[in-house]
Every structure is written in C-alpha cells, then in structure tokens.
Amino acid sequence: MLCFRGKLMSYLMGIDLGTSSLKVIIIDIKGNIQVESSKGYQFDSPINGYAEQKTDAWWSACCECIRDALSRLKAPASEIRALSFSGQMHGVVLLDKDRNVIRPAILHCDARSGEQVQKINRLFKERHLSDSQLNPVYTGFLLTSLVWVRDNEPELYGRVRYAFLPKDFLKMMLCGEIGSDYSDASATLAYDIQQNCWSKEVLDALDIPLEFFPECSASDRVAGRVTKKAAEATGLREGTVVVNGGADQVMQAVGNGAIRPGQATVNIGSSGQVCFQSDKPIRNPDLSTNTFCAYRSGAWITMGATMSAGLAFKWFRGIFPGGDYRTLDGEIEKLVPGSGGLLFLPYLNGERTPHVNPNISGMFMGLNLNTTGTHMARAVMEGVTYSLLQCIEICGTLGLKAGELIASGGGARSPVWLQMQADVYNMPLKTTVTEEQACIGAAVMAGVGSGAFGSVEEACASFVRYKDNVYTPNAKNHDIYRQYYCLYKDAYTGSQKTIQSLTEQGRLQAG
C-alpha cells in the first residue's frame, strides 16, 4: 500500500485523451468522483479527408485539466496515489531519436491512406498474413498511416525512431518512459493479436523496423513515476505512480463493469461501437468487425463500429439548430417510430461495420412535404441505431451473445435514444451512475497498478454502479422497427453505386 508520510493516499486519477477533448477525474478509493475537468479542442483537416492533431494541444490540455482538478480537490496533490489513461485508438505519434515530435499525429478518423490500404491488403493476401491480424486493413490505423508517411513524406519518415499511440505520448510526457499496452498495440495492424506481440512477419513484409515500436504490457502495469519536470507543469507530486492504461474502448468497457465473457456494451460517442468481451480471439472471415486484446493477457474484445454516431447528430444540429438537447428530445419523443417514413444512412465519414468502406457517404431517403426538422432529427437517431444493430447481428453470427447491453457515451444521456435502442435491438439496456466510463476504467487501472485493489474485479465492484432504471423493449415498437430496419439494409444495397459516385464527385469538387 502506498503511503505518504505515514498516511494512506486516498485518490486516483483517470485521464481520457479523446478526439475532441481531454477529460480528467479524481476519484476516491470508495468510488466517489471528487472532481472532474475537461478541455475541448479540434483536430485539423488541412486537406479533405485528413485528420491531424498537434501533440502540444494534448499536453497543454492535460496540464490545464490536471491543475484545474487539483485546485478544486479538497486535499493536497500528495494524496493522489496513482494515475492512468484511456486514449483514442489507432492514431500514430512519430518521434525522432531525441524524442522530438516529427509531425502532427495522424488520427483514427483520417482517410488519406486509401492507396496504402490497397497495397497492404495485397501484401497480406499474398503472404497469408490476415489470420494474425483478425482485423480489416483500414485508413487511420497506425500501420496504414505510417506507410503513408513513408510514401509521401520520405524525409520525415527517415527521422522516425519511435511510432506509438496517442495516449502513450501523454504517458511519456508525465513519466519519461516510452511504452504501450496490449489493447492499444493490438489496434495498430502491426501486432499479432493471437500471440500478443509485435508482428515481425508483418513488419518485415512491409520493411518497417521492429525497433520503432515500444514494449507492451498489461493495462494495470506500472509504467513509471511522474518526473520533476512534469510535476512542475501539472502540479502533481513528483514520484506519483503512472500506470499504463489502455485503448478507449477497452477502458470504457472496464468503466462500465463489462470485464467478463458474455458481457457487452454499446457506445454512442462521436463514433459508435458495440463491444463484446471474450476469452478467445474471434476471427471474422469477412473482416467486418474488429478483435483486439483487452486489458490483460488472455482476454479479448470483439466490436463492430459505425464511424458517425453522435457525430451524425452533432452534424445535423449544426445544420438545423434550435433549442437545447432536452427540448429536442421531448419533440422527438412525440413522433412514432419510423420518422414518418424517413430513413437516414449515417455514413458521413465512411463506414467500418459492416461495409468496411471509407469512401461512402450518408443520405436521407423518403423526404416529403410533411417532413420536419424533428422528423429528420429522429431519423438520424434511428439510422445510427440501425447501424449499431447491424454490428450486434454480425457479432451474433460469430457466436457472441449478451442478455443485456450497458449503454454509454453521449447517446446514453438521452432517455429517448436509450428507449429507441432497446426497442430496435430488442434487448434491455442499463446505464452506469457516472458518465465518464473511460476515465473510470483508467482510474481502475491506476488503483490496481498501485496496489489499492487486488484485482480489476475488486476495483470494478467498488467503482461501477448502475442506475435503477432499465430500458426494456417495447414489443410493438420493435415490430415497426424491424420493418424499417429491412428497408434500411436494402437502401444501402440499392443505392451503393449512387452513393459511391456522389462521394467521388464531392471529393473532386472539394479539390
């Protein structure tokens, strides 16, 4: 047990590095959140399809949020026992031999590497390497972005000494050590998920040095301690324990208490995911889902993902503003399922599950003179939910089942959307008392890594609590949604060529 001057340190810190914001919580050992702090930022898109962020923005937000949280904690910084991380997946941070950042980080939602995806797919097929990956090759993953840099920015690539994940940059800044964890590493395409190590076969095939990639260990492994320089920048005590943490989907599952095989979560954040826990790596022959390592060796997650979930609703609100979310929820609730015969395909930024296509676009179908902005808002919610149902169904064909879903993300703040999900999926949904599940998952790792808890199970029992209200399916609504869901799937199939052509024309006109 860690003590400071004979006194047990009482608090843990969880840091979540997201695409649009960084969040920090401080939680006590009994699971009560004491302080929350967040800082928003935007990613850069210098060319259509690009998504980059300057690492300085992350570090600045991290220092600001930690200082703010500590200033409002009714205890000294010496009471922080340990901290850990949750981080946006897939992106790549590149450093030179002196640990200087070479270029802005390329993010998970970046779509520039289409040519590299095709090249890697051909190579994987020729050398029978797909079986070790268990994942489709997709734009925005670390490996595809790294190959893009080599192909298009050779001078910068020539300076690369380290290639790793976004949250591991913050970890390095805090404790001075470069390392990663199983969950984040497994989402790079450079990792052998079944053998739980960097894939020498893949890296050799692409002529990428294995030495670029850091040592990996479990999410609850101690990575180091806060350095003097980082303590001065953040207000943390020098020597505070820093624990690995993990990829946001894995940490979010932990923060929802979903850590055992047969448990599943559904998340509507900027993107949307359905995530199933498993005690074995799941191979999907169609490569339309993702399988990654979980927080420890011998555990995995399989998930389906839709690229524009809450992002689609935010986009719509930007076009048709008016009223707060609660008021809009009330208006949407008055409409019957089906939004007056309106369908929305939520492919605003390509799609992963089930189409694995970064180049398709979204669309409304069924507009008429009676269509209102509220109809369209509800159709956006329904379209995202249909997309997540496709994820659930595909995971079901792989043998992954759950009796209920734990819902999280911004979509879980809307009672209307939660009930809609229960009706569409025909499954009960429950939610946790606290909303920042990824931060909670990170705090769990901080607690286990620092010895405050003997296991992740013990920490989750202390930290994770569920609301009394469970959203149960309405059978009548489900029957209506089944009909619309069939139309939704047919709409993509029937309009695929049109959608593809429109997407290509739009990109040509955007330059």
Active site residues: 248
User: How far is 5 from 77, CA to CA, in rounded Å?
Assistant: 13
User: How far is 454 from 364, CA to CA, in rounded Å?
Assistant: 51
Buried-state track 25-50, b at ≥16 Cβ within 10 A, e below 16:
bbbbbebebbbbbbbebebeeeeebb
β-strands 191-192, 197-198 pairing:
antiparallel
Q: Tell me, what DSSP letter sits at residue 347?
A: -
Buried-state track 154-166, b at ≥16 Cβ within 10 A, e below 16:
eeebeebbbbbbb
Question: 456-463 and 437-449 are packed helices; what angle lies between their axes, rounded to 10 degrees?
Answer: 130
The SS3 of residue 277 is strand
The SS3 of residue 15 is strand
Q: DSSP readout, 238-255?
A: TT-EEE--EEHHHHHHHH
| Amino acid (one-letter) located at 350 | G
For 105, residues 6+ apart whose C-beta sits below 8 A from its C-beta are 52, 53, 54, 55, 91, 92, 93, 94, 166, 169
Tokens at 127, concatenated: 């050398």
Q: Tell me, what DSSP letter sits at residue 283?
A: P
Residue whose entry in the numeric block shows the structure tokens 């790596």: 281
User: How far is 253 from 30, CA to CA, in rounded Å?
Assistant: 19
